[in-house]
Amino acid sequence: EAVVALRALLQRRRQTSDSGLGSVLPYLARYLEDLASPTARASVVWIIGQYQREAPKLAPDVMRRLAKTFASERQEVKQQVLMLSLKVWAFHALNAIGQVPTCKDADKKTGAKAAPGLPPAESTRVLPRLEAVVDHIMSLASFDVAWDVRDTARSLKQLKAAAKAQMASGAGASGSVLEELGLWYCRACVSGESPVP
């Protein structure tokens, strides 16, 4: 219940630029395996995904560990793992091409801030492995018994592919509506904005 309450408090505090979770996220990640409640597990996964900018090396490791247990997770946890995987991939894909906001151009409206100590070269280095894990998670989800999980996986897979195509074509290039939507969605996930217009 404490984790769920923490999530609710963080959702209310979205306007602030620094949540102060940089030092708390590793503890949440460590205790994720000990949590039995699916709601608490889903809340921790959401928190890690939403605030991964404050500990950018932590989220890929959590995603990797959750990929191992994905098939045995409850539906609400699977949904959050799918979102986490897209957020982690989007963060590193955008950081690799230098499109993650820096401290000087942080978005005042959304509270987006720079990734502390994560150079684009490191994102470029880990991106192929991250993409393999994300694709594996989405592949597992596409065969899940719950139709919500399957549909979410299909949708996020299409958005990821569209965003990847738009990123490959270069900044400012005009792509299809789906490609532009995919890139916009990924940027919204990274910036902490609500991806709903």
* Predicted model pTM: 0.84
Take residue 70 and report the two structure tokens written for it. Answer: 């994905």
Q: What is the pLDDT of residues 159-183, one digit of tens each?
A: 999 999 999 887 566 778 888 888 8
Give the least confident one: 10-24, 64-78, 147-161, 182-196: 10-24
- The answer, yes or no, to whether residue 106 has pLDDT greater than 50, is no
**Section 141-161 average pLDDT:** 96
Say how far apart CA 70 and CA 81 lie, in whole Å: 8
Q: How far apart are the first and last CA of the chain?
A: 31
Q: How far is CA 5 from the centre of its chain?
A: 21
- From residue 110, how far is each of 72, 84, 101, 125, 195 by CA, in Å? 35, 19, 11, 28, 12
Q: What is the pLDDT of residues 35-84, one digit of tens each?
A: 999 999 999 999 999 888 888 899 999 999 999 999 999 999 999 999 99
Phi first, then psi: give them for residue 175, nearest 5 degrees: -115, -170
Between 21 and 169, residue with greater pLDDT: 169
Confidence of residue 102 (pLDDT cuts 50, 70, 90): low
